[in-house]
Chain A
């Protein structure tokens, strides 16, 4: 992979790829509380980030 980075351009300083999974096990839960009420907690969410530095 490093060779791939070297080949696609000398100007590229770094590449990072990151996967995040929030609420991995998709737990049902209450989020913010208000008097006699609450909000539903966010379910599982997957996101992928790619950062390229030149």
Chain B
């Protein structure tokens, strides 16, 4: 019997209460989960795949205003980039691990909250961990860079999984209050009430927070976030219950991307969004407060852990609702109804709504009767911003006096409701004289994602971005039902000289699109995986505390509902993404010195890439999807990850991590999906007027966009008596912006500093 995982919550609370904190993050200790007892060091648990966990010091490096995502940036292989100082912009947030990425274009890394699926991490309909967990409520984060645990719940875990855990209730009644103030008008109020024992063997906390901040470019953004959460643990008839509820309400005004190095060199401090409303719709399409992300997330789960004989069972049910909106301000009204000649356009009259259909044209300026006006013949526009300037139809100077500018406020509405069920069992037994652990389980989830887009008339484009409440056009309204069933089995045999495991898992995923305006656009796709095998071995070596590990795992990402968005989506040419991971490493653990070294190699096939409607020449506001998706060949990734955590003296410790990585495209692929033998033949196809090829999406042997070859972190942490301080520096190598590897951003060194006092 493997006793380390058999603690109940109360005994864990007692263990935690007896522990001495390094310095007082939470003077009254909380009850860690059984898994956390095994997460002894930042350099990872003793398993056959690479993994690392965040430390208290890493959490303290980030302001309480910051999103929980930033905490894992110091771990080997991991790069977190958030466009906003405090992570208040999902639009510009990205995660890179071993060449796999989460950003606007791709979602290839799994994310879970207390082990429960986050419902994908994409911008529209997804929710990263910061929507579920307040920074002060986070217990820790575990990153599995590649293979990950076989039980990981994610559709997206091609490149590993990040699991965020919530704080367990403490044993004593107390009230924790926190106030944070920062640059860029940032503030956060937080309060958590710990109940102590409210009923027999029952403990809980409830927390509330409210924060706000603005952007670092011109301080025009109005970012707000309110978060309420509750958690309880209770033991009843030898069953440990855990419940968690969180509600998060966020409004973020976005940052815009910089289109290439020339724009950056022209002004490295401006993202070309504006802070003032000009009254010229073409210019006001760049008004920052019109680029917004609004999200509300309600998440709840109830978990029961119990034992039946030699079998540990953990089950939970969960519910998640995600509602939100993405905003842009197109510099025109869409003409969607043929109103006839010499009459005003009905789109200007509040209360008229057209459902579905397509754009007949665009209205830029109208007269007092609501009739469209054309620019003066031969007029040259003097508008130069944004996107290099505009035609005469956008320029008020090219219209007669009295012309009224008109524009739109475009809302893309997202809603997602998930219910799910998880069950895991661990059976401890013996085969001969050897301990054997059999794990098996399943994950079922049923979600429905709704997405619609409506266009509201800006009430008066001359004075501000207030818009009519009733949309003049609901462009589309779609529902995406998705059913997931994942099941797995894994056996681990402890031979004494080594622990050997073998496992298999499979996903059954059904995805559909129901077009609520036109059933002809309905789609159905089955995205089941093959049986995904995994295997591994962990063996102690001749030095006490030193072990070698090796793991192999087949990862899978289902076709995503977003890939069905476009009405012209042709699913015949979209395959699920798959990746084969191999980890080989050493791990050493001793008091005061822990280290790990991992070599990995990954073969990533059928990568699916998103093509945005947003380009350097402007935004295609009318495309009825955020963009298009296609398979763009494979990637090979290999590298070495090193981490070490060393206690130098009673007061000083150092953590360091190093990552050497190579991620390359393995094929040259054109935008039509054609694979070319060489770059030369691909370029010849593009140059051939009779060939439909117009661009490439991957070039064989070139480094994957956005992936650094080298990263390094060194963190010094000091504490003495009631004082503490830390300094951490991260190096990130240069990264390519394009598949031709012709343009790259420079490497950088960024340092974080903290100091404090407690009593």
Contact = CB atoms under 8 A, between A and B. Distances in A.
A40 B749 contact: no
Given A22-B63, A50-B178, A50-B179, A39 B255 contact: yes
Interface in B156-192: 174-184, 186
A44 B216 CA distance: 9
B178 A14 contact: no
B28 interface: yes
B750 A20 contact: no
Contacts of A17: 756-758
Q: Which of A29, A32, A36, A48 has the most CB of B within 10 A?
A: A32
B176 A53 contact: yes
Interface in B357-373: none
Contact of B175 (A18, A25, A54): A54
Interface in A5-54: 5, 13-25, 27-54
A17 to B, nearest CB: 5
A14 B268 contact: no
B72 to A, nearest CB: 15
Given A14-B27, A35-B737, A45 B93 contact: no
A2 B752 CA distance: 28
A37 B737 contact: yes
A33 B177 contact: no
A51 B105 CA distance: 39
Interface stretch (B256-264, B278-286, B413-421): B256-264
A21 B745 contact: no
Contacts of B94: 31-33
Contact of A53 (B105, B175, B750, B756): B175
Contacts of A54: 174-177
Interface residues of B, number: 73
B616 A36 contact: yes
B738 interface: yes
B612 interface: yes
A5 to B, nearest CB: 5
Q: Which of B82, B105, B184, B758 has the most CB of A within 10 A?
A: B758
Contact of A37 (B65, B257, B752): B257
B758 A24 contact: no
Given A2-B759, A46-B182, A36 B753 contact: no
A40 B745 contact: no
Contacts of B259: 36-37
Interface string B695-737: 0000000000110000000000000001000010000100111
B133 interface: no
B622 to A, nearest CB: 21
A10 to B, nearest CB: 14
A40 B176 contact: no
A13 B84 CA distance: 34
Given A20-B62, A49-B180, A36 B737 contact: yes
B662 interface: no
A49 B178 contact: yes
A16 B751 contact: no
B92 A35 contact: no
Interface in B678-708: 705-706
A49 B271 contact: no
Contacts of B61: 20, 22
A6 to B, nearest CB: 9
A51 B177 contact: yes
B255 A40 contact: yes
Contacts of A39: 81, 83, 92, 255-258, 271
A27 B184 CA distance: 17
A45 to B, nearest CB: 5
26 contacts: A5-B759, A15-B758, A16-B757, A17-B756, A19-B756, A20-B61, A25-B749, A29-B748, A30-B264, A30-B746, A30-B748, A34-B104, A34-B257, A36-B259, A37-B737, A39-B83, A46-B182, A47-B65, A47-B182, A47-B186, A49-B63, A49-B180, A50-B179, A52-B178, A53-B176, A54-B176
Given A18-B756, A47-B182, 13 more contacts: A13-B174, A30-B258, A32-B93, A33-B735, A33-B737, A35-B105, A35-B737, A37-B260, A39-B81, A42-B83, A42-B85, A43-B216, A46-B182
Interface of B: 24, 27-28, 60-66, 81-86, 92-94, 103-105, 174-184, 186, 216-217, 255-260, 264, 268-269, 271, 612, 616, 705-706, 722, 727, 732, 735-739, 743, 745-746, 748-759
Top-7 shortest CB links A-B: A47-B182, A33-B706, A18-B756, A29-B748, A47-B63, A30-B745, A16-B758
